[in-house]
Amino acid sequence: MVERATTGIHGLDDLIEGGFPRNRTILVAGACGTGKSIFSMQYLYHGITQCNEPGVFVTFDEAPENIRSDMLRFGWNLQELESHNSFAMIDGASARAGTPSTEQNALQPTQLDINRVLTEVLTVARRIGAKRLVIDSIPALGFQLNDEHEIRKIILRLSQVLSKSGMTSIITTELPEQPTGQGQMIFSKYGVEEYIADGVLLFGLIGTSSKADRTVYIRKMRGTNHSGAIHPSAITENGFVVKKVEDVFR
């Protein structure tokens, strides 16, 4: 029987037999504004507060202080969790921008190759006994590289190390918006992430610029029977939720 890590995302676990398979890597892919970062942080927060599973969030896109502030709107006090050593944030955004960081856990501009990033991630994870990990995002990690072959090697290396880390991990990737019914769907930026990941969740937006509805599509989840429908989703005052199709369109 596959051991599961419950996600804390209302409505999702019922679609994937109770949660993510443990010690696996899940790819969360979608366009800007589809809720990837909120979803990922909610997964960590649930693990820490409800499952006693410490977590690490690696940010390459957003400044840590902005993340802490934004997550307070959902009642998620990350600073309090950090003070109890059950949560750690690794600042890769400052190194990417070439600016100094005041964070306890921060990458330096010279540490943005994959081996040094993984060394820092695993060091911090061991220190707090992490069982969950989020890396946000893959395109930001590979921003210095123009050769997609090298980027694919980085992704493969990342996957191999995470699979042996003892953590159940989420990695995010940015995609262009994909209108439904128009051409072949894209599941990753570099065309390899979806193959090395154990699960793939595709986040979308359907509608016009004035009103767009969020969606979640479970492209794959190894070792799991899962829904094949495109499910409506929303960001509420309590966080990210996934809805049943029949509850919305009946």
Tell me, yes or no, if the pTM score tops 0.85: yes
- The reported pLDDT for the residue numbered 210 is 52
The CATH architecture to which 4-249 belongs is 3-Layer(aba) Sandwich (3.40)
- The reported pLDDT for the residue numbered 123 is 98
List the chain residues with pLDDT less than 70.
Answer: 143-146, 177-184, 187-190, 192, 207-211, 246-250
What is the rounded CA–CA span in Å between residue 233 and residue 214? 5
> What are the boundaries of each domain within the chain?
4-249
- Write the single-letter amino acid at 172: T
- The reported pLDDT for the residue numbered 176 is 74
* 3-state per-residue secondary structure call for the chain: CCCEECCCCECCHHHCCCCEECCCEEEEEECCCCCHHHHHHHHHHHHHHHHCCCEEEEECCCCHHHHHHHHHHHCCCHHHHHHCCCEEEEECHHHHHCCCCCCCCECCHHHCCHHHHHHHHHHHHHHHCCCEEEEECHHHHCCCCCCHHHHHHHHHHHHHHHHCCCCEEEEEEECCCCCCCCCCCCCCCCCCHHHHCCEEEEEEEEECCCCEEEEEEEEEECCCCCCCCEEEEEEECCEEEECCHHHHHC
Q: What is the pLDDT of residues 205-229, one digit of tens each?
A: 886 555 678 999 999 999 999 999 9
- The reported pLDDT for the residue numbered 150 is 80
Q: What is the pLDDT of residues 21-44, one digit of tens each?
A: 999 999 999 998 899 999 999 999
